[in-house]
Chain A
Amino acid sequence: MCLSTERGAILDRLLASGRSSRGTAAAYLALDRPTPEDTARFVRIYVGEKFLAPELPAESDSLYDLGQASYRRLQQLQTEGKLGDEWNTGCSGASSAMARKALFFMSLQRELHITLPPAEIEAAETVGDVIRLCLRFQSRAEA
Chain B
Amino acid sequence: MGDDSIRQRTDRLAAEFRQLEDEFLRYSYLVELGGLLPSMSPAERAAADRFPGCQSRVWLHMELRDGRFRLQADSDAVILRGLLYVFVTVYDGASPAEIAGSVFHPLEELGLTESFSPQRQGGVAGIMEAIRTFCRAAAAEK
Contacts and interface: CB of A to CB of B under 8 A. Distances in A.
Interface string B120-135: 1000000000000000
B39 A82 contact: yes
B140 interface: no
A11 B29 contact: yes
B103 interface: no
A15 B29 CA distance: 10
Contacts of A104: 24
Contacts of A74: 31, 34-35, 78
A99 B116 CA distance: 8
A14 B77 contact: no
Nearest to B27: A103
B78 A103 contact: no
Contacts of B116: 99
Interface string B83-103: 001001100100000000000
Contacts of A50: 24
B11 interface: no
Contacts of A138: none
Contacts of B120: 91, 94
Contact of B77 (A22, A76, A80, A96): A96
Q: How large is the interface on B (under 10, 10 to 19, 20 to 34, 35 or more residues)?
A: 35 or more
Interface of B, secondary structure class, is helix
A79 interface: no
Nearest to B116: A99
A90 B55 contact: yes
Interface string B29-62: 1011111100100000000000001111100000
Interface in A9-28: 10-11, 14-15, 17-18, 22
Contacts, number: 123
B32 A71 contact: yes
Interface string B69-80: 000001011110
Given A74-B31, A90-B55, A107 B24 contact: yes
A71 B92 contact: no
Given A14-B25, A18-B20, A83-B77, A96 B117 contact: no
B84 to A, nearest CB: 12
A89 interface: yes
Contacts of A91: 53-56, 117, 119-120
Interface of B: 1, 12, 16, 19-25, 27-29, 31-36, 39, 53-57, 74, 76-79, 81, 85, 88-89, 92, 114-117, 119-120
12 contacts: A1-B89, A11-B16, A11-B19, A17-B28, A18-B21, A74-B78, A77-B35, A99-B116, A100-B31, A103-B24, A106-B23, A107-B23
